[in-house]
Amino acid sequence: MIIPTHNRCSVLRRTVDALKSQIYPLQKIEVLIVADGCTDDTVEMLGHYEAPFPLKIIPQSQLGPAEARNQGAAQASGDLFIFLDDDMRQRRLSSRHMQKLMKQRPGHVVIGYLPPSLTLPNSFLGIGLRRWWGWTFQMMRQPGHRYTYRDLLTGNFSIEAILFRKNRWIRFCFLMSRGL
């Protein structure tokens, strides 16, 4: 799992804590956290974190989440990359489910559902965001949907490592999702 983060120590800790509840054997999960220019307690917290899975901390100067994801992928050793945002809490079956889907559909990207976590869910903005979010996922579920870089929601998706490494398009999607 590759998790980019920037100065969100407490949020990140909850995400890493949630990984402990995965059904997938924890010793087989490699977690790489790319600390993107962190100036808070993130690196120190991770340095003392007792994880039941291999945990690697990759500090880098603040280059943004796209470069952090690419840096994590460059240092990952697994056959399957799961990219998570630092505020995602995977359900217990998520890792196993993503791996199963990847075996059923090799050469594909699996996009996990990303329900928005809103501070003010009943605000005008919150209601609009939830509607857009639901519509976006509904459109992606339609048979024949033509995916573009805009559909690659980088906060919760998986891809085979070999496909990622040979496909520059994915790295381009990261940059496009950053707005470059």
CATH number of the domain encompassing residue 74: 3.90.550.10
Pairwise CA distance, residues 139 & 143, whole Å: 9
Does residue 125 lie in a domain region? no
Pairwise CA distance, residues 26 & 80, whole Å: 15
Does residue 173 lie in a domain region? yes
- pLDDT score for 7: 97
Q: pTM for the complete prediction?
A: 0.82
In the chain, the number of structural domains is 1
Mean per-residue pLDDT pooled into runs of 10, the chain (180 residues): 96 92 85 97 97 96 93 93 85 65 76 68 83 85 82 81 77 47
Q: Phi/psi zone of residue 179: left (φ > 0), alpha (ψ -120 to 50 degrees), beta?
A: left
- pLDDT score for 176: 47
Q: Which helix (H) or strand (E) holds 129?
A: helix 124-140
Domain limits at 158? 2-114+153-177
- Chain length of the chain: 180
Does residue 64 lie in a domain region? yes
- pLDDT score for 179: 39
Q: Who's near 74: CB < 8 A, 6+ residues apart?
A: none
Does residue 120 lie in a domain region? no
